[in-house]
């Protein structure tokens, strides 16, 4: 036992070295500044929002039209206060970073009021999000013969889980909320294996079947009634740089997918100028970096198979 304590004698020295590194490497610690959004709180906000979008499926069951208004009202009241706090933190930090201003000198700017306005507008969008999600659920049922009913899809389909969080995150992204949309997207990614940037614009009746390994980039535009399978990448072809060698941001880098397109497993479609015409089919493992016209089927010619007797 005494030897164990002697081994622990070195811990104060290790602590000193770690803290010293905070002074030497300031780019990956956040100390003595405006508070950042809280990751745990953002995760809990997602859960509350999903509870509102799909009442009766998650934490609170035995809901009916006699008590659902109280349940939703209670959630909204809590969401309003907590989401306002997190958005306020994000806005304040973004402002200090952009203007190189100290947090303590920001008393003149009412970030709280700005955050509250964004929160109210976001919460007002929930009925329209539910309308779109109902079409996403129906598209999953219509597109998957293994689906027994709509309830099964809401309970257990990772593609629906991913697009649900995306539609919430996208609303905040459209309102220029820093940090939080990406935090939401990465939480969804960790749970589903589906990586959708909150900036991607995705139309209604969207269905991801299976889903693992799907990547959809920030400037991707997906029109309604699109179906994609696992392993699909809708990515960037290149990253242009300015005269100083820095990445040029804000340009369209990811493809546009027309209405009614089906993209099979492990296909890769790259480039901001790439447009997949409406009602086209992109076969499994196809790689595309140029546009194709509507109603086109793109497949890889099947390789020949060789059979021989096992020795």
Taking only the tens place, the pLDDT of each residue in 174-219 is 999 999 999 999 999 999 999 999 999 999 999 999 999 999 999 9
Residue range 63-107, pLDDT digits in tens: 899 999 999 999 999 999 999 999 999 999 888 877 777 666 665
Q: What is the pLDDT of residue 68?
A: 92
Element containing residue 207 per DSSP (H, E): strand 207-208
Q: Does domain 28-194 have CATH number 1.10.3130.10?
A: yes
Domain ranges (residues) in the chain: 28-194, 200-301
pLDDT 10s digits, 11-64: 999 999 999 999 999 889 888 778 899 999 999 999 999 999 999 998 877 889
**b or e along 265-290 (b: 16 or more beta carbons within 10 Å of the residue's beta carbon)?**
bbbbbbbbebbbbbebbbeeebebee
User: Position of tokens 């699909």?
Assistant: 232
User: How confident is the model over 99-150, as pLDDT tens digits?
Assistant: 777 666 665 578 999 999 999 999 999 999 999 999 999 999 999 999 999 9
Predicted local distance difference test score (pLDDT) of residue 244: 72
DSSP sequence for 216-269: E-TT-EE-SS-EE-TT-EEE-S---B-TTSPBPPSS--S-EE-TT-EE-TT-EE
Tens of pLDDT along 232-248? Answer: 999 998 777 777 777 77
CATH of 200-301, one of 2.40.50.100, 2.160.10.10, 3.30.479.10, 3.40.190.10: 2.160.10.10
Contacts of 256 (CB under 8 A, 6+ apart): 220, 221, 222, 223, 274, 275, 276
pLDDT of amino acid 249: 78
pLDDT of 170 reads 98
């Amino acid at each position: 036992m005494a030897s164990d304590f002697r081994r622990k004698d070195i811990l104060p020295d290790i602590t000193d070295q770690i803290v010293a590194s905070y002074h030497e490497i300031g780019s990956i610690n956040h100390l003595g500044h405006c508070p950042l959004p809280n990751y745990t709180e953002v995760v809990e906000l997602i859960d509350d929002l999903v509870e509102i979008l799909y009442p009766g499926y998650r934490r609170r069951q035995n809901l009916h039209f006699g008590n659902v208004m109280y349940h939703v009202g209670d959630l909204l009241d809590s969401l309003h206060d907590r989401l306002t706090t997190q958005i306020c933190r994000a806005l304040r930090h973004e402002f200090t970073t952009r203007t190189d201003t100290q947090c303590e000198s920001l008393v003149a700017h009412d970030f709280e009021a700005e955050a509250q306005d964004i929160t109210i507008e976001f919460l007002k969008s929930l009925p329209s999000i539910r309308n779109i999600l109902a079409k996403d659920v129906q598209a999953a049922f219509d597109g998957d013969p293994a689906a027994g009913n709509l309830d099964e899809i809401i309970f257990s389909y990772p593609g629906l889980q991913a697009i649900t969080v995306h539609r919430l995150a996208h609303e905040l992204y459209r309102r220029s909320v820093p940090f939080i949309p990406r935090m939401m997207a990465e939480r969804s990614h960790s749970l589903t294996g589906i990586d959708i940037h909150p900036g991607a614009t995705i139309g209604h009746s969207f269905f991801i079947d299976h889903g693992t390994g799907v990547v959809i980039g920030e400037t991707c535009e997906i029109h309604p009634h699109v179906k994609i399978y696992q392993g699909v990448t809708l990515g960037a072809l290149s990253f242009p740089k300015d005269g100083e060698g820095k990445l040029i941001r804000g340009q369209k880098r990811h493809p546009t997918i027309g209405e009614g397109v089906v993209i099979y497993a492990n296909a890769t479609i790259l480039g901001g100028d790439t447009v997949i015409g409406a009602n086209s089919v992109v076969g499994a493992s196809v790689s595309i970096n140029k546009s194709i016209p509507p109603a086109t089927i793109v497949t890889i010619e099947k390789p020949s198979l060789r059979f021989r007797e096992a020795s």
